[in-house]
Structure 1
Amino acid sequence: MCGLAGILAPHASATPDRGLLQRMNAVQSHRGPDEAGSHLEPGVALAHRRLSIIDLAGGQQPLANAAGTVVTVYNGEIYNFPELAQELRARGYAFRTHCDTEVIVHAWEEWGEACVERFRGMFAFAVWDRRQQTLFLARDRLGIKPLHYARLPDGRWLFASEIKSLLVCPELSRDLDPAAVEDYFAFGYVPDPRSIFRHVHKLPPGHTLTLQPGQREVRPRAYWDVHFGDARALTADSATDELRARLTEAVEMRMVSEVPLGAFLSGGVDSSAVVATMSGLSDAPVNACSIGFGDPRFNESDHARAVAERFGARHFLDQVDADRLRLIDPLACIYDEPFADSSALPTYELSRLTRQHVTVALSGDGGDETLAGYRRYRGFRQEEHLRARLPGGLRRPLFGALAALYPKADWAPRPLRAKATFQALARDAVEGYLRSVAVVDDASRARLFSHRMRTDLQGYHAREVLQTHAQNAAQEEPLDFVQYLDMKTWLPGDILTKVDRASMAHGLEVRVPLLDHHFVEWAARVPADLRLHRGEGKYLLKRAFEPDLPHEVLYRRKQGFVMPIADWFRGPLADSLRDAVCGERLADSGWFDPDRLARLVAEHQSARSDHSRTLWALMMFESFLRQRVDVAATDI
């Protein structure tokens, strides 16, 4: 795993600034603590930080072909590189290394932009072709690895793995995008292709971008998409067997490493299945790392310990308590944007623990999105079936009135919290789904934002993110529809961003077998009733691992990797919360209603309401403003 950065000059004869390139590379040293390299020539500058995993003695980057006309920098792993190398050798290409990076160089020479369609793995890379005067940027299909870019007023293009690398350039504006602020408080992250900065963009997953010196306008090109709805005639038995075989293949490919290897083990179904599979493929005990919480309501470590003991794994465990909240400001620096998923903190601590024992870890991320594991999928499917039976002209006023009359009951048992369901049924599919995933709902955002902020939005609403993707989603089966939306937004924007930044902050590579694109494509074609069977999410995965995993691991209620922040905000973090949310920085930004901010804190700390998700989002936004906006480029 590595970090890359680069500059494309405004003219083919101009050589980019070496000093700027070195600073861009230096701030990403955590992504590649082993080596640094750079390449400058008229038109382009490329830089790389290396975390050595394969071909430790060779494989330094930037890496060029024998003639020096094609150069690449690359972050990731291409798991099928031995097969590709063999094919390219048969076509006459000579290899000087045994690493996957050289495959990218020769694949570009042979297949051009179509080379990405040959790669199986996680990657973000840049290829400079001197003969064509072309810079080619690419990102993997699911968005496991990040890639950001920006155009400066003088015509230069900057690109890098992390936004902090771009921000070292003093000519890059730090103006924030009001639409991105709206998106952040709706989703808890900023979905691609936006970033929080108006002039910085994310290359979307499954896209490439071709640039040439002097080029002003660009349009990323999609090379892959996941297609749901083409259900095959599978029985539960045949699908279970095939899932097990495909997952075993995906895990085995990701166990190739020349450095110590291990796994994240949360005690949930996905990570437990990965550890079980690794154990079956390895003669040595698996290194399994877990995080627990002192509060038993949020602690899964007993389940993780049971799985580790069953497979004879070497188990390493750490505990996160309220004192770790001192990491809020470091997290703002790590993510470069406001990021409201509170599980980023235990993920950061899990990565720190894991890096003490291994350099590469496999994780169970992606199982919920690929195999329909979230509880909200069941609710959405039921709501969509009801929406289909009632015309919108009747449904909207009926359920809108019921939602208005029914009290908000956060304190009540879940079956009695009907207000949110009524609100969802009064909306269309996209609005209903946004209501189910929003960190701060529409009405609450309207009260949270100032008049100036609402004016700056010019009518923009976060639902437009989902509406854009909904145009390409299968519409017949609600489960297909909602899984597609998650794979385009929540998965790359939250889950994979969280793991990439947290792990790379410690120089740890994380591999995700459940997001092998062959596995994802197969799972998308499994009939919906086998993905979500009689209300049971991840039905096939659980069925496949019944012989190996404890029943309580497979079938207990999904808990998630969450912290007891609601209680912490009323206890050890009460003062910190009040200082951040009611302090000068948020008030001076002009985007929020200060009275509303104070009311949120008071209502939460008096236990009248649970505003913990909104308050955490506000705390992270305030820290982001201090750590990334209020500092000069020279301070990064």
Structure 2
Amino acid sequence: MSGICGILRLDGGPPDGIEAMAALLERRGPNATRIHREGQVALGHTLLATTPEARHEVMPLTDPATGCTITADVRLDNRAELLAALDLLGTGRVIGDGEIILRAWLAWGEGCLTRLLGDFAFAIWDPRAEQIIAARDPMGMRQLAYAHRENRLLAFATEPRAVLEAQGVPPDLDTGRIADYLEDYLEAIDVESTFFQHVRRLPPAHWLVADARGLTVRRYWSLVPGPEMRLGSDQAYADAFLDVFTEAVRCRLRSDGPVGSMLSGGLDSGSAVAVATRLLAAEGRGPLPTFSVIHSADPDCAETRAIRASLTIPGLDPHLVDVADLSPYMDDLHEALRSLKEPFDGQMNLVRSAYIAAERAGVRVVLDGVAGDIVLTDGNRMGQLIRAGRWTTAWNEAVAEERYWSGEHTRWRFMGEALRQAAVPDWLRRARRRWSGLDDARPKGALLHPDFARQVDLRSRVARWRRNSFAPAPSQAAWRAASISGPVLLVGRERYDRVAAGHGIEPRDPFMDLRVIEFCLRCPSSQMKTDGWPKVLLRRALRGLLPEEVLWRAGRTHLGWTLTQLLIRSADKHGAMPGPSDTTATLLNQALNLPYGQPLSRPLVDDLRWDRTVLALWSNSAYGPKP
């Protein structure tokens, strides 16, 4: 997971700021920093060498025949297929993934984008047309942000804040994103916003072209469900899934050094670990380093029990972070918080502590299972059963779901929600929200000041969030596809990317493999949920590979907020957290119902104090707003 950046001066001026852009990305790519300058264009690359080929490839890379130059953050999973199609086999030299993309672009143009399998963000300078072409992978595993000033410049970088270092990009803060952070669900308002008014994220599955004529951004791929798969038995589905999932894990084990994995007490990371250890053992590699957060002092902690059960998988080298004694990690956690890349990352302390452990172990590639919950969603199976007239089966599912969640929600609630979704048309739901005032965007928990909510037009932001998160779909498969390719999964993956990058680590998620996603979309919903058990396809596929206690663990808990509360107490005790700058303090006082610094009473005390502290930390970091 390297860093890339670049500037194209459309007015012919010098591309000033490229060195500062690259410097801000060097934590992400600590192995080497290189700059390519050519007249009004400059490209930068900060290398994190996580594949054998990346160690030998020098980027930015120029094709001598055309003068086209590429900078790329990339891992391709179909290298052999692409090398054969491009007639690059048998050259007797190491060909990196960046060069493959450049050759593919020169051979096939835009058509190359749908032939690339893997995680990538890249930009190509084509001096023949005097234009920049940039693209992001279909699922958005690699990030790319940009700013376009008409007739003046295009600047792009892996991280939005780095774009501001290009001379000519205004540093104006988007205060609407401050509201999004304080009303946390609005993090997923869309796939383009950043905390800076003039910087946009390039959406996944999109490419852009910038030249003297302007900027064009286009979609090159959409996630469309194929025809429903019909196999002979539940076991046949499970076996077929395991084959596809195993190949996805295999591709993510290609590395220049050791590969590790997150290992929570859940099913998704456990599945990646179980398959990875089998593959490594077959290749004579291993053991697999794993990184987990436990609470040894709490005998009732279900997460800790499940992690200890997972650690019985053969071929592991476990590394445990214990919230009962965070002292070995506290200094690094405080330092990481003082370098927040976005306020949303302030909630990622459990993940951050695992990455700190991986960094200390010398592991630069870490598997996880973040996308499992969404890729394996059932798409409201109870609603489908109701629409099909299978009322008894739907009721049995509601009873089973109540049992799965240990009574957190009742069967009546599950059944009522399914009935509402099955029977009430979208237009009537929208009308009901208008009539009942549910679209009035009332600030959550009276946390956001009403005047600030009006200033940022919170109502229209909520409406935009609803459009992007709850768009109607013609079928359940299409609804599942929209959920997978929508903003919720994307912002989650972007958080992991930013936090991992802060420790020189590349995250890899086999559930984000297009082959896994397309397979799951073709499965009937009964393979996603049965008898109240979500992700039943994965549970069946991993029988015999995961301990039963993990395979059939009900509910969902983790230690994230427990760890954050300990971090708050430690910061208070040792004075590790600085206050906000004057500018940020002023903004916080405008945004919040309670003035910054005013004593608080529970239950908002920890939640609100943490939100305010995170904003202060971010504003003071190198990744916060420019002065």
Give me the TM-score of the superposition, normalised by structure 2.
0.82
Aligned-partner residue type, residue 622 of structure 1: A
Partner residue in 2 for 1:210: 209
Aligned-partner residue type, residue 465 of structure 1: W
Structure 1 residue 619: Cα displacement:
3.3
Aligned-partner residue type, residue 100 of structure 1: D
Where 1:314 maps in the other structure, the secondary structure is strand
Give the one of 53, 76, 87 matched to 1:55.
53
Distance 2:150 2:301 in 1: 49
Distance 2:384 2:599 in 1: 33
Give the one of 315, 319, 327 matched to 2:318.
315
Change (3 A) 1:354 1:632: same
> What is the RMSD of the two structures over their aligned residues, measured on CA atoms?
4.0
Where 1:522 maps in the other structure, the secondary structure is helix
Partner residue in 2 for 1:221: 218
The within-5 A match list for 1:1-12 is 1-11=1-11
- Determine if the alignment matches structure 1 residue 622 to structure 2 residue 616: yes
Partner residue in 2 for 1:484: 482
Partner residue in 2 for 1:547: 544
- Structure 2 unaligned blocks of 5 or more: 390-405
Structure 1 residue 148: Cα displacement:
0.6
Where 2:500 maps in the other structure, the secondary structure is helix
Aligned-partner residue type, residue 32 of structure 2: E
Aligned-partner residue type, residue 143 of structure 2: P
Q: Give per-residue Cα distances to partners, 1:161-206, cap 9 Å, x unaligned.
A: 1123123346433322243334332426364201111111001111
The within-5 A match list for 1:58-77 is 58-67=56-65, 69-77=67-75
Give the one of 150, 157, 160 matched to 1:160.
157
Q: Which stretch shifts more, 286-295 or 242-251?
A: 286-295
Aligned-partner residue type, residue 454 of structure 1: R
Distance 1:322 1:416 in 2: 37
Structure 1 residue 247: Cα displacement:
0.6
Q: Give per-residue Cα distances to partners, 1:408-429, cap 9 Å, x unaligned.
A: xxxx973379999999969987
Aligned-partner residue type, residue 113 of structure 2: V
Partner residue in 1 for 2:32: 35
Give the one of 343, 348, 372 matched to 2:352.
348
- Determine if the alignment matches structure 1 residue 106 to structure 2 residue 99: no
Distance 2:280 2:567 in 1: 44
Aligned-partner residue type, residue 290 of structure 2: A
- Structure 1 unaligned blocks of 5 or more: 390-411, 605-609
Q: Work out whether residues 264 and 362 of structure 1, in 8 Å CA contact, stay in contact via their aligned partners in 2.
A: yes
Partner residue in 1 for 2:516: 519
Q: Give per-residue Cα distances to partners, 1:561-580, cap 9 Å, x unaligned.
A: 62316865996567889997
Distance 2:335 2:462 in 1: 28
Partner residue in 2 for 1:337: 342
Where 2:357 maps in the other structure, the secondary structure is helix
Give the one of 514, 535, 538 matched to 2:535.
538
Q: Work out whether residues 147 and 200 of structure 2, in 8 Å CA contact, stay in contact via their aligned partners in 1.
A: yes
Q: Give the share of equivalent positions with the same residue, in percent.
A: 25
The within-5 A match list for 1:392-403 is none
Aligned-partner residue type, residue 360 of structure 2: Q
Aligned-partner residue type, residue 41 of structure 1: E
Change (3 A) 1:515 1:208: same
Change (3 A) 1:545 1:459: closer
Structure 1 residue 9: Cα displacement:
0.9
Partner residue in 2 for 1:504: 501
Partner residue in 2 for 1:414: 408
Q: Work out whether residues 229 and 474 of structure 1, in 8 Å CA contact, stay in contact via their aligned partners in 2.
A: no
Change (3 A) 1:259 1:186: closer
The within-5 A match list for 1:118-267 is 118-152=115-149, 155-169=152-166, 171-184=168-181, 185-187=183-185, 189=187, 191-212=190-211, 214-216=212-214, 218-228=215-225, 230-234=227-231, 235-267=233-265
Distance 1:7 1:431 in 2: 44
Structure 1 residue 505: Cα displacement:
1.3
The within-5 A match list for 1:449-468 is 449-457=449-457, 459-468=459-468
Change (3 A) 1:500 1:21: same
Q: Work out whether residues 340 and 623 of structure 2, in 8 Å CA contact, stay in contact via their aligned partners in 1.
A: no
Where 2:27 maps in the other structure, the secondary structure is helix
Q: Work out whether residues 265 and 275 of structure 1, in 8 Å CA contact, stay in contact via their aligned partners in 2.
A: yes
Distance 1:182 1:625 in 2: 15
Q: Give per-residue Cα distances to partners, 1:265-324, cap 9 Å, x unaligned.
A: 223211111111112112332222222245636673443343233313111222246766
Q: Work out whether residues 294 and 559 of structure 2, in 8 Å CA contact, stay in contact via their aligned partners in 1.
A: no
Distance 1:76 1:56 in 2: 9
Distance 1:461 1:555 in 2: 40
Aligned length: 586
Structure 1 residue 225: Cα displacement:
2.1
Where 2:461 maps in the other structure, the secondary structure is coil
Q: Give per-residue Cα distances to partners, 1:23-65, cap 9 Å, x unaligned.
A: 1111111111111111111231100011123225520101122
Aligned-partner residue type, residue 288 of structure 1: T
Aligned-partner residue type, residue 24 of structure 1: M
Q: Work out whether residues 349 and 564 of structure 2, in 8 Å CA contact, stay in contact via their aligned partners in 1.
A: no
Where 2:170 maps in the other structure, the secondary structure is coil
Q: Work out whether residues 265 and 289 of structure 1, in 8 Å CA contact, stay in contact via their aligned partners in 2.
A: yes
Distance 2:135 2:216 in 1: 13
- Determine if the alignment matches structure 1 residue 45 to structure 2 residue 39: no
Where 1:132 maps in the other structure, the secondary structure is coil
Distance 2:202 2:130 in 1: 21
Structure 1 residue 618: Cα displacement:
3.8
Distance 1:316 1:117 in 2: 39
Give the one of 364, 389, 398 matched to 1:359.
364
Partner residue in 1 for 2:374: 369
Distance 1:562 1:417 in 2: 28
Aligned-partner residue type, residue 291 of structure 1: V
Distance 2:517 2:411 in 1: 34
Change (3 A) 1:543 1:334: farther
Where 2:534 maps in the other structure, the secondary structure is coil
Partner residue in 1 for 2:288: 286
Q: Work out whether residues 141 and 206 of structure 1, in 8 Å CA contact, stay in contact via their aligned partners in 2.
A: yes
Q: Work out whether residues 470 and 481 of structure 1, in 8 Å CA contact, stay in contact via their aligned partners in 2.
A: no
Change (3 A) 1:349 1:186: closer
Change (3 A) 1:578 1:166: closer
Partner residue in 2 for 1:303: 306
Change (3 A) 1:105 1:289: same
